[in-house]
Structure formats: structure tokens, C-alpha cells
Amino acid sequence: MKDDHNGVPRTVPVQSATFSNPVNAEIRRAAATGIYDIRGGGAKRKVPHFDDLLFLGASISRYPLEGYREKCETSVTLGTRFAKNPIQLDIPVTIAGMSFGALSGPAKEALGRGATLAGTSTTTGDGGMTEEERGHSNKLVYQYLPSRYGMNPDDLRRCDAIEIVVGQGAKPGGGGMLLGQKISDRVAEMRNLPKGIDQRSACRHPDWTGPDDLEIKILELREITNWEKPIYIKVGGARPYFDTTLAIKAGADVVVLDGMQGGTAATQDVFIEHVGQPILACIREAVRALQDMGMHREVQLVVSGGIRHGADVAKCMALGADAVAIGTAALIALGDNDPRWEAEYNELGTTAGAYDDWHEGRDPAGITTQDPDLMARFDPIEGGRRLNNYLKVMTLEAQTIARACGKNHLHNLEPEDLCALTMEAAAMAKIPLAGTDWYPGKPGTSY
Amino acid sequence: MQVFDLEAQGLRELNATLHAQSTDTNQTAWEIVNPKGSHAIAVGLDAPIEVNVKGSTGYYCAGMNKQATVHVHGSAGPGVAENMMSGTVVIEGDASQYAGATGNGGTLVIKGNASSRCGISMKGIDIIVHGNIGHMSAFMAQSGNLVVCGNAGDALGDSLYEARLFVRGSVKSLGADCVEKEMRPEHLTLLADLLERGGCDAKPEEFKRYGSARKLYNFNIDNAY
């Protein structure tokens, strides 16, 4: 205990948990600039997540499979409901939509290379389809976004699936902004806008306004593409039961559900951190909607938002998803936020692992930029190799867990294979609290 | 002339048949009877054919059209000629919401009135409306030309980029960043061509031109509200 100069004891200084140093710094920054903070990435706050679930593994009542030898399938088929040509993937880990514009051309190429090597799909983003992405992606999902930047019927016909983006986890209900710093000649041409101006991506579609309209929009897209392409509907983690129900009703082949940890290229920090739900809270509600509609496994569920390794993949499968999508993790595998660039991150006022000003276009790793000098630092072949390695590791990890639970396919994992470490996770995932057979809200119980 | 009875033969067969027409097809004239307000009629066409629809259509008629001429002898539902790339679409009657939405090219002529959000997010299409247009038309319009021989509703050209808007009648209100601009000789020449292509007998000198003030082009907190 400190004392004053007269030797009288004084209380030690105490930092407020409410007005913490980061909070106070943001107040000072706002007061100095008059503008809210814009950044990339997903929610950084700690939320209930897959870390709060554990697998039980095998015991006398469950018979495990041999860890390295016995077959454990990982394939998944997406789009079996209506599409003539469903997508067949070797692994249930896909690459989420990220735009050319937000990412460089070589980065998009690397995502295609890595996904193709691993036997999975990658996804376009706002801004349209690039040749390097189509050329290096065996399976490419073409996003149909509110902005319709770059949208055209030729690309619609040469994609492998169409993803109608209603929302994303980082900002359900919000649009996007690609700031002028990243609007190169090529980006400007693809989006039919002048170079150097900020490009707003609308928050709602221009030519439909509700689920009844959406059903007709899907009819149009199917007619244009001869009913060949699976049609996904992507929603942010807002009201997963109702959104999934309406997506099924509108005619989706696949529902993509993105939790608040899912990344964005640029959005207000307040939006990212305070709107939407963690993916853990969304999956079981979406599965419930699928089951209530009699469509579980008939309409596939792809989930995303904070998926990092094979354990997360396996947990998503156990909760009822058919596949997952990764975005932020894929960028890290490519080299984003790598400590090798620490000195340059420091010059930008940040540090490796925390860099999120992707919208400024000064990414030292050359991934989230359109600056030719920075882009030249990134090798798309090496990036593709690294992504493939990472995807393989995720798959091997998920298989390891599935075998330990006695499952010969990742899709055979089930909620009964899990327990929850916290009350919150138990309630959100409807998984019994460890050591009990109970979770909050369990039917037939009082709480 | 190839006649297609939509009621008898169905939408899937119609679009598949029209998609099968190649650039050098000699079956260039098509007539669709009994459309009865069906959705997605003649969508995704990509051949220099002429399609006459004998009646009114539902949503998204001629959506994503390339090369073809689609003539609707009735009124059109929401989203007619949405995301059109090239070609011509003519509506003899009225058009519902979102006419010509996100269109990249080609010409859309509406001989009656167009409802709200006409030309929303247009990206190069030319739209000529003989009558009036509803509110929020040309919202976030990026490029192309919107000609309105009648009146425009509220919030015309809100958050406009580089599209040019020409209105002969009144404008109930302008949207954010949309302003009246000087009508210079090159605009009169452009407008005369558009009016001729749209079959309008109006005189270019009777119109006012509206465009972007370009104050929203780079994010400025003072413009947020």
C-alpha cells in the first residue's frame, strides 16, 4: 500500500472496468477526430464460442475408430434440393466470399489455388469475378450482392454455384464501403465507378424486398442458368430460426449462416462489436428451422464466423452443419498479420495479429491492398500451397476427433458427442453442461 | 414468326428455347402468347432476336438481357430488364418497381409510367419513360441516362454517382447529393438521340438535367445524418 509524504496510507490507483484504458483511448480518439472507427475483421470481444464445448470421446458406451487407419469420410455435396449440378467437395471446409477490391488479385488467385488443391470451393465477393480467381478455382461460388458490382449473366453461367448475400455476420443489416484508396483502375472499371471515390455497397437488394420477392428472384436466376447451379442464401447471425425458415421457403438449396466473429473488409467498429450473434448461438436454431421444415440435410447448412481449426469444424458438424466457411483464418494462412512484417505494422501504429485497417490499403503482407509494390510481396503459388496445407490440417484434426467419437463420416458427429463448459454455451448450443444431463431451456425442465 | 403459348408450354421450355438461339439463328422473330403475368419471361437472352410478348408480364421480364429486343404489349411487373447488358426492351404500358435496376447497357423504353426505384443502381443502361416515375428513382445510379417525359417523385437521384437524369416535368424532391445542372449543348444532343430512340416527340429544350453534386464521393462525417 502506498503512502503520502507524511506516511499516511493511501488507496492504490484503480482502473475502471467500465472506463478501461482502451475505452478511454477511443473516447479521446472520437473527441479528436469526430468520426467513428472503421476497421476490418470480425468481433474481437470475447463471446461464447466453440472453445466452450468439448467432445466426450469414446468409452465403454461408444466404440472408437482407429485413429490413422479406419476410414473417416469428409466429403459433402451442396445443392441437392433443386440444382441439376450440385457441388461435390472433398472436405467440408470452404472459402468464404471476399471481394476483389478488398483483396488483391494475387490473393484471390491464391485462395482459388489453395481451395482447388484441397478439393473445396472458393467464393467471389463484392466487385465481381476475376479471371485469375475463376481460372484457379475448380469450384467457384459467385456472390449475388446488393451492389451488383460486376454482376453479369456470363459469369453467372460460368460459376459453380450462386450465393445470394442477404447479410453477413460482422454487420447484419449493414452495407459496406470500399474506400477510395483501394479503387485502382481495374477495381473502378469492374464496378463501373470513377477511380478514387469511396464505393458504397448497399445494405439491401435493389430489386426485391422480402421473402416472397426473393422466391421470384431465385426463379429468375434458375431460369437464366438452366436450373443447373445450386443457389445459396447467406444471412448474418441475426434471427437464425426465422431467417433459415424464410430462406428455405424462398427456395434455397443451401443456407449460409455467418456469426458475428466473421470478418468484413471495412465497417464501423461499433457495428462489428454490437450487432449480431455469436455463431455458437445460431447453429442449433438454424438446424431447428431445417428440421421443422423437414429439410435438414436436404437443404445444406454452411456456417462461418470464427472457425480456426479442425475441432471447430468437428463441433459445427456435431451441431448439425453440413460444412463450414473460413475467411479470416484463410487470410492468416496466406500470411496476413504475420509477425515477419512486425516493423511495418509498428509503423502503421499497430502490431502483428491486431492489424485490421485493411480498408486503408497499406497491408504490409500485400494481401488486402491494391498497391502494386505491396501486392508484389505476395506469391499466389506459395499462398495457395500454404492454404492447402492449412485446410488439410483442419480436415485431419476433424477426422481425428470424429474417429475418437466412433464416427466414420464427419457428418455422423452429433450433439450427443458434446458437453458444454459454461452455462452460456450450454444454453446457446443446447448441449448439456459438463457433468450433467441438463442445459438451460431444456424441454421438460424448469429453467 | 415462332409463336410460343406460355400457358400451354410452360416457362422452363420458353426460356430454354430462347436460350438455344445462337447469334446466327434465323429464327429471329418470336411471339409469346398467354403470358398472364408470369414471372421471369425471356430472361437471360443472348441472341439478336425479337421477342413480342402479347400481354402483361410479372417480375423480372427480360432480366439480364443481352442483344435481344423484347417488346411487352402490356404492362410489366417489378424489375423489368433488371441488370440488362445490351439490347432493347420496350413496355407499351406501365412498369412496376425497380424498372431497369442495375442495368449495365441497352435501352429500356417505358411508354406508360414507371413506379418507384426506376433505374435504381443503374450502371450504364439508358431508360426512357414517356410518363411519370415514382419515388427513389435512380437511387445510387452509377452511369447511364434516365429520361422522364413526365414528372419525378420524391428523392430523385439520391446518392447519385455519374448517371445523368433528364426530367421534363416537375420533380417532387431531389435526393441527397442530387442537384440540377446546366444543360449544355452536348447534353441536348445526347437527349435528342435518347428521345428519338425512345420514340418520344418531346423537345430536348423542355427538359432539366440533374446529376451528382459529388459531395458524397469521399466519406465525410459532416455529410452523415
* pLDDT at position B225 over 60: no
Q: What whole-number distance in Å separates Cα of residue A286 and Cα of residue A303?
A: 10
Q: Smallest Cα–Cα separation from A222: which of A164, A302, A299, A168?
A: A164
Domain ranges of chain B: 2-212
**Residues of chain B numbered 43-62 and touching chain A (CB < 8 Å):** 43-44, 46, 58-60
| Position A90 confidence tier, pLDDT thresholds 50, 70, 90 | very high
Q: What is the pLDDT of residues B29-88, one digit of tens each?
A: 999 999 999 999 999 999 999 999 999 999 999 999 999 999 999 999 999 999 999 999
* pLDDT at position A3 over 70: no
Alpha-carbon A249 to chain mean position: 24
What residue in B sits closest to A157 (Cα-Cα)?
B44
| Position A146 confidence tier, pLDDT thresholds 50, 70, 90 | very high
Q: What is the pLDDT of residues A68-80, one digit of tens each?
A: 789 999 999 999 9
Q: Please give the pLDDT value at position A202.
A: 86
Q: Please give the pLDDT value at position A160.
A: 98
Average of per-residue pLDDT values in chain A: 94
B63 and chain A in contact, CB less than 8 A:
yes
| Contacts with B12 from chain A: Cβ below 8 Å | 223, 227
**Are the Cβ atoms of A34 and B218 closer than 8 angstroms?**
no
What burial letters (b/e) apply to A228-245, b meaning 16+ CB within 10 Å? ebbbbbbbbbbbbbebbb
| Contacts with B161 from chain A: Cβ below 8 Å | 193-194, 197
Smallest Cβ distance to A198: which of B46, B98, B217? B217
Q: Please give the pLDDT value at position A184.
A: 81
C-alpha cell at B174: 431531389
User: Where would I find the beta strands (DSSP E) of chain B?
Assistant: 2-5, 29-33, 50-54, 69-72, 88-91, 107-110, 123-129, 143-148, 164-167, 178-181, 208-212
A34 and chain B in contact, CB less than 8 A:
yes
Q: What whole-number distance in Å separates Cα of residue B225 and Cα of residue B217?
A: 16
**How far does the CA of residue A120 sit from the closest CA of chain B (Å)?**
29
Give the largest Cα separation in chain A, rounded.
88
Q: Is A254 helix (H, G, I), strand (E, B) or coil?
A: strand
Q: What is the pLDDT of residues B11-24, one digit of tens each?
A: 999 999 999 998 88
| Contacts with B142 from chain A: Cβ below 8 Å | 191-193
**Are the Cβ atoms of B98 and A206 closer than 8 angstroms?**
yes
Task: Pick the more confident residue, A179 or A372.
Answer: A372
* pLDDT at position A2 over 70: no
- CA distances for A374 relative to A117, A366, B126, angstroms: 26, 5, 39
Find out whether A56 and A87 touch, Cβ atoms under 8 Å.
no
C-alpha cell at A263: 470478418
Structural class in CATH, domain B2-212:
mainly beta
Q: Please give the pLDDT value at position A4.
A: 64
| Position A312 confidence tier, pLDDT thresholds 50, 70, 90 | very high
A347 and chain B in contact, CB less than 8 A:
no
* pLDDT at position A148 over 90: yes
* pLDDT at position A89 over 90: yes
> Torsions phi, psi of A11, nearest 5?
-70, 145
Smallest Cβ distance to B40: which of A152, A191, A220? A220
Average of per-residue pLDDT values in chain B: 96
Q: Please give the pLDDT value at position A180.
A: 75
B26, exposed or middle or buried, with CB in 10 Å at 0-12, 13-18, 19+? exposed
Q: What is the pLDDT of residues A190-207, one digit of tens each?
A: 888 888 788 778 899 999
Find out whether A200 and A175 touch, Cβ atoms under 8 Å.
yes
Question: Mean pLDDT, to the nearest integer, of B84-100?
Answer: 98
Q: Please give the pLDDT value at position B24.
A: 85
**Are the Cβ atoms of B104 and A152 closer than 8 angstroms?**
yes
Q: What is the pLDDT of residues A117-144, one digit of tens each?
A: 999 999 999 889 999 899 999 999 999 9
Question: Mean pLDDT, to the nearest integer, of B208-223?
Answer: 84
| Position B222 confidence tier, pLDDT thresholds 50, 70, 90 | low
**How far does the CA of residue A193 sit from the closest CA of chain B (Å)?**
6
pTM: 0.95
A11: amino acid identity, one letter:
T
Q: Please give the pLDDT value at position A58.
A: 94
Q: Smallest Cα–Cα separation from A108: which of A267, A262, A331?
A: A331
* pLDDT at position A5 over 80: no
Alpha-carbon A331 to chain mean position: 11
Q: Please give the pLDDT value at position B85.
A: 98
User: Where would I find the beta strands (DSSP E) of A69-222?
Assistant: 76-78, 87-89, 93-95, 121-123, 139-144, 161-165, 176-178, 199-201
Alpha-carbon A193 to chain mean position: 28
